[in-house]
Amino acid sequence: MNAKQGQSKIQRVLTGVTTTGTPHLGNYAGAIRPAIEMSNQPDVDAFFFLADYHALIKADDAARVERSRLEIAATWLAAGLDTERVTFYRQSDIPEIPELSWVLTCSTPKGLMNRAHAYKASVDANNAAGVEPDDGVTMGLYSYPILMAADILMFNAHKVPVGADQVQHLEMARDIAQRFNYHYGNGRDFFVLPEAQVAEGVATLPGLDGRKMSKSYNNIIPLFAGDAKQLRQAIAQIKTDSKLPGEPKDPDSSNLFMIYKAFVEPSKAQAFAAELRDGLAWGDAKKMLADELEGMIAPMRERYVELMAKPERIEEILLDGAAKARKIAQPLMAEIRQAVGLRRFHAVKTADTAQEKAASSKKSSKMPRFISFKDDTGQFMFRMLSAEGEELLRSVSLPNPQVAGQEIRTLQNTSESIQFELVDGLYQLSLNDQLVAFAVDAKGLGAEAWKAKFLSELALFKQD
For residue 46, give the CATH number of its domain: 3.40.50.620
Task: Label residue 409 by pLDDT band (50, 70, 90).
Answer: confident
Range of the domain at 246: 215-300
Is residue 437 located within the same domain as residue 319?
no
Q: Which of 55, 138, 153, 48 is closest to 97 using CA atoms?
A: 153
Convert the pLDDT of each residue in 361-388 to its tens digit: 444 456 888 888 776 666 788 899 888 8
Please state, for a pLDDT cut of 70, what percent of the chain lies above it: 91
- Give me the pLDDT at residue 363, please: 42
Is residue 321 located within the same domain as residue 441?
no
CA dihedral (206, 210, 211, 216) positive or negative? negative
Q: Residue 122 domain-assigned?
A: yes
Q: Is 129 assigned to a binding site?
A: no
Is residue 241 located within the same domain as residue 378?
no
Q: Is 213 assigned to a binding site?
A: yes
Q: Is 45 assigned to a binding site?
A: no
Convert the pLDDT of each residue in 101-153 to its tens digit: 999 999 999 999 999 999 999 999 999 999 999 999 999 999 999 999 999 99
Task: Label residue 203 by pLDDT band (50, 70, 90).
Answer: low
Q: Is 130 assigned to a binding site?
A: no
Residue 217: C-alpha distances to residues 206, 411, 443 (Å): 11, 63, 43
Q: Residue 210 domain-assigned?
A: no
Convert the pLDDT of each residue in 51-94 to its tens digit: 999 999 988 899 999 999 999 999 999 999 999 999 999 999 99
Q: Residue 413 domain-assigned?
A: yes
Q: Which of 118, 119, 139, 166 is closest to 14 using CA atoms?
A: 166
Q: Is 27 assigned to a binding site?
A: yes
Q: Residue 1 domain-assigned?
A: no
Q: Which of 48, 46, 30, 323 is closest to 158 using CA atoms?
A: 46
For residue 184, pLDDT beyond 50:
yes
Is residue 145 located within the same domain as residue 95?
yes
Query: In sequence order, which residues have a C-beta less than 8 Å from that of residue 238 and are 6 or more positions away?
Result: 208, 255, 256, 259, 286, 289
Number of structural domains found in the chain: 3
**Separation CA 13–CA 160 (nearest Å):** 6
Q: Residue 288 domain-assigned?
A: yes
Q: Is 215 assigned to a binding site?
A: yes
Phi, psi of 241 (to 5 degrees): -80, -175
- Note whether 19 and 69 are within 8 A (CB): yes
Q: Which of 189, 193, 117 is closest to 152 using CA atoms?
A: 193
Q: What is the CATH number of the domain that holds 414?
A: 2.30.29.80
- Give me the pLDDT at residue 122, please: 95
Task: Label residue 461 by pLDDT band (50, 70, 90).
Answer: confident
Is residue 123 located within the same domain as residue 267?
no
Is residue 289 located within the same domain as residue 418?
no
Q: Which of 215, 219, 257 is closest to 237 using CA atoms?
A: 219
Q: Is 444 assigned to a binding site?
A: no
Task: Label residue 162 by pLDDT band (50, 70, 90).
Answer: confident
Q: Which of 364, 335, 336, 339 is closest to 349 using CA atoms?
A: 364
Query: Mean of the per-residue pLDDT values for the chain?
Result: 88
188-194: Cβ within 8 A, 24+ apart: 190/332, 190/335, 190/336, 190/339, 191/153, 191/156, 192/1, 192/5, 192/153, 192/156, 192/157, 192/158, 192/444, 194/14, 194/152, 194/153, 194/157, 194/158, 194/159, 194/160, 194/170
Is residue 246 located within the same domain as residue 100?
no
Phi, psi of 237 (to 5 degrees): -90, -5
Residue 146 host element (H or E): helix 139-153
- Give me the pLDDT at residue 351, please: 46
Amino acid making up residue 227:
D
Q: Is 360 assigned to a binding site?
A: no
Is residue 378 located within the same domain as residue 415?
yes
Is residue 180 located within the same domain as residue 255?
no
**Average pLDDT rounded to a whole number, residues 390-419:** 84
Boundary-marking domain end, from 269, 300, 331: 300
Q: Is 151 assigned to a binding site?
A: yes
Q: Residue 357 domain-assigned?
A: no
- Give me the pLDDT at residue 241, please: 94
- Note whether 445 and 453 are within 8 A (CB): yes
Q: Is 35 assigned to a binding site?
A: no
Is residue 176 located within the same domain as residue 247?
no
For residue 442, pLDDT beyond 80:
no
> 419-423 and 426-431 as β-strands: parallel, antiparallel, unpaired?
antiparallel
Quote the pTM value: 0.71
Is residue 83 located within the same domain as residue 151?
yes
Q: Is 19 assigned to a binding site?
A: yes
Q: Residue 77 domain-assigned?
A: yes
**Separation CA 109–CA 102 (nearest Å):** 13
Is residue 384 located within the same domain as residue 236?
no
Q: Is 164 assigned to a binding site?
A: yes
- Give me the pLDDT at residue 376, please: 64
**Separation CA 79–CA 292 (nearest Å):** 16
Q: Residue 363 domain-assigned?
A: no
CA 24 from chain center: how many Å? 21
Q: Is 243 assigned to a binding site?
A: no
Phi, psi of 14 (to 5 degrees): -125, 135
Q: What is the CATH number of the domain that holds 245?
A: 1.10.240.10
